[in-house]
Amino acid sequence: MLIARVIGEVVATEKHASHSGMKLLLVQPLNLDGTNRGDAVVALDAVDAGVGDRVLLSTDGFAASSSVGRPQSPIDMAVLGFIDEVEVLPGVV
């Protein structure tokens, strides 16, 4: 799981049948300090997130597809929740 920020929506004229009715988001993984961590990725949206939202990103294909209720869906990533606050305790990181 990663912390990420939604930076856009993906419009696909053709997509896998199991993605029907689901929104695709472009999300930027983040470090704990809020800086970008690697490249942006495409994820299936399970929580109706929007641009600017800080979210919890599943990066395990089985967990992602199961969490969005599509266990046979060929996905690698899914947005599973909103993040309101991140608190890093001293000496833990």
pLDDT in tens, 66-89: 777 767 777 888 999 999 988 888
* Residue 92 placed within a domain: no
Classify residue 55 as exposed, middle or buried by CB count within 10 Å of its CB (0-12, 13-18, 19+): buried
* Residue 32 placed within a domain: yes
Domain that residue 74 falls in: 2-11+22-82
* Residue 73 placed within a domain: yes
Angstrom distance (rounded) from CA 81 to CA 55? 6
Positive or negative CA dihedral for 59, 63, 66, 71? positive
* Residue 17 placed within a domain: no
* Residue 63 placed within a domain: yes
Is pLDDT above 80 for 20?
no
Instruction: Look up residue 18 and give its DSSP letter.
Output: G
* Residue 71 placed within a domain: yes
Residue of 85 and 26 predicted with greater confidence: 26
- pTM for this one? 0.85
Angstrom distance (rounded) from CA 92 to CA 68? 31
CATH classification at residue 71: 2.40.50.220
* Residue 93 placed within a domain: no
* Residue 89 placed within a domain: no
Core vs surface per residue 35-54: b (16+ CB within 10 A) or e: eeeeebbebbbbbebeeebb
Number of separate domains in the chain: 1
